[in-house]
Structure 1
Amino acid sequence: MPDGRQWDSTLFRGSAAFYERGRLPYAPGFAETLAGALGLDGRGRLLDVGCGPGTVLLAMAGFFTEAVGIDPDEDMLAEGERQAVRRGVSNARWKRARAEDLPAGLGEFRVVVFANSFHWTDRDRVAATVLEMLEPGGSFVHIGDLKDPSGASVPLSAPDSAPYPPPPYAGIRALVRRYLGPVRRAGRGTLPNGTPGGESLVVSNAGFTAFATHVVPAGPVVERSADDLVAWVFSLSSSAPHLFGDALPDFEQDLRALLRTASPGDRFAECPPATEIKTWRKPDDRR
């Protein structure tokens, strides 16, 4: 964990089952964009660090001989295995491990990807280890929402012609604060202020070169139900179900009441964010 904190096994406790339904997808075609940028041809191995339930791994597995996902949360890995079976992905395997446990005997990879997970790690140490695990010319990849210069996700509003109102995110966050307090929770502790940026400097300092960035445009407006938004809330480390303790039923009842007030039909519309893909190469000394 960053800032000298120890890994907290309760960080995402109870959240894995809500990921697939609650989280907005990455932009359509992100996997194909990454495959084209890196010249992937079905060979080599992929490592997804902090893979969660396999959102990126399962989308990318077809471009590799093998795709390996590591995550310290057993429930996330079990959900990834279930999703692999459901989607017919047969070349994926899963290992319970932290990024700081690498190389963990996993061998050499063509691509190592972090999808909204690098900030949870001891970044300098992990980037240096990943450099050693990659084959010559291999790629370090960071995937996340497109950010503005301040580091915040670029907001996208659904058009006025959208059939439903937008989700009441400000009200949801206020409700979470009312139950959990003003400081964002994270497992047994709290979240640091903001998400650290500066990936480019960290990765470059580790010895990677040939930085490139690719922005995949946002997809169309998506319709979201009240159940989808409840799942989104519970998929977050800062509002994981276990944090509410005995007050969980009351919180969910108040959350659903808030959503019903915002949209009596319990339907919402929003634009998913664009996806930003950053890539670096390990120098190929053979050339």
Structure 2
Amino acid sequence: MAGHGGTAWDEYLFRGSAGFYERGRLPYADALGATLRDELGLDGRGTVADLGCGPGTLARTLAGYVQRVIAVDPDPDMVANGRALSVAANITWRTTTAEDATFAPGELDAVVLAQSFHWMDRERVAAQLRTALRPGGHVVLVADVKTPPAAQPPGTVPVPDAALNALIAEYLGSQRRAGRSVLPDGTPSGEEEILARAGFLGPKRVVVPATRVLVRPVDDVVAEVYSKSFSAPHLFGDRLSDFDARLRALLAEHAVDGHYPTLPPDTAVRIWTNPPADA
């Protein structure tokens, strides 16, 4: 993983966030693992790489469907948390960037990138994956569906995002932070064009619906804030304790009995195929 869109890896990007990731991040749809199994033809054999794996959320899901998962992330705390959380013996953990991860030609049957591709030198990684993947193998981008549903299920309670973002901006400024940098235009897009130029075919689009309402205590929502690059704990410096107190007060004010019943977003899956080199 590089910094954002191709810069050198910034070790401050998720500094201090790893311990909040598993508790704070909303899960992908429950059927994501089975969907990837069916769409990719995973049958207990083969090797899949998870690039920018964080604490291995998706790597741990896929471990039950393949012979081997290679989980790659440049943040040592993320990798350490992944190892601690995993009970699967068939995950190989590598602390390195996606750009510097090495694979034998044709070693991989699939590569998954769960909300991580935008942090990488995408052209370089896409070119490398054309060699690392076997012909007929797949590149898979996984992300939350960004468009909220027309209506949330009865009884759910929305997190006060506007007030939350205003509070973060009060401490960190109006431009979105990302490690040592700022992202005035957000994270880069255009990944479909990049993968097409690299020679991949697709994408096939699949949406996996979320079906399970989670009852989240305020502490889980606090963890979600600190799990994100633009509100990682280190960014607040010596004002962290003050921010934390105000964050908890804001969330407690809007919670119902100290909780936020939440339906997570649906999960968007885009799948590209690696054609033979002479295709």
The two structures share one fold, judged by TM-score above 0.5: yes
Query: Which one of the candidate residues 11, 16, 19 is aligned to 1:17?
Result: 19
Cα displacement (A) at 1:210: 4.3
Percent of pairs identical after alignment? 47
Listed as ranges, the matches of 1:1-287 within 5 Å are 1-84=3-86, 88-103=87-102, 108-146=107-145, 153-156=146-149, 157-159=151-153, 161-162=154-155, 165-263=157-255, 265-284=257-276
Cα displacement (A) at 1:65: 0.8
Contact 2:157 / 2:256 at 8 angstroms: preserved in 1? no
In terms of mean alpha carbon deviation, does 252-261 or 215-224 score higher?
A: 215-224
**Aligned equivalents of 1:180, 1:43: Cα separation in 2:** 47
Structure 1, residues 49-84: CA drift from partner, whole Å, max 9, x if none? 000000100001111111011111000000000111
Q: Secondary structure at the match of 1:76?
A: helix
Q: Secondary structure at the match of 2:136?
A: strand
Structure 1, residues 180-204: CA drift from partner, whole Å, max 9, x if none? 1111111122124123233222111
**Aligned equivalents of 1:213, 1:182: Cα separation in 2:** 34
Q: Secondary structure at the match of 1:220?
A: coil
**Aligned equivalents of 1:105, 1:132: Cα separation in 2:** 8
> AA paired with 2:215?
E
Q: List, as ranges, runs of 4+ consecutive aligned residues in structure 1 with deviation greater than 4 Å.
A: 104-107
**Aligned equivalents of 2:277, 2:10: Cα separation in 1:** 39
Q: Secondary structure at the match of 1:46?
A: strand
Contact 1:158 / 1:221 at 8 angstroms: preserved in 2? no
Contact 1:44 / 1:110 at 8 angstroms: preserved in 2? yes
**Aligned equivalents of 1:26, 1:222: Cα separation in 2:** 12
Match in the other structure for 1:150: none
> AA paired with 2:123?
D
Structure 1, residues 122-157: CA drift from partner, whole Å, max 9, x if none? 1111101011001121111111112xxxxxx11135
**Aligned equivalents of 2:231, 2:48: Cα separation in 1:** 31
How many residues are aligned here? 276
Cα displacement (A) at 1:206: 0.6
Structure-1-length-normalised TM-score: 0.91
Q: Secondary structure at the match of 2:113?
A: strand
> AA paired with 2:174?
P
RMSD: 1.9
Quickly say closer, same or farther: Cα 1:4–1:110, change in 2 above 3 A. closer
> AA paired with 2:19?
A
**Aligned equivalents of 2:231, 2:4: Cα separation in 1:** 20
Structure 1, residues 233-257: CA drift from partner, whole Å, max 9, x if none? 0000101111111111111100111
Q: Which runs of 5 or more residues in structure 1 are unaligned?
A: 147-152
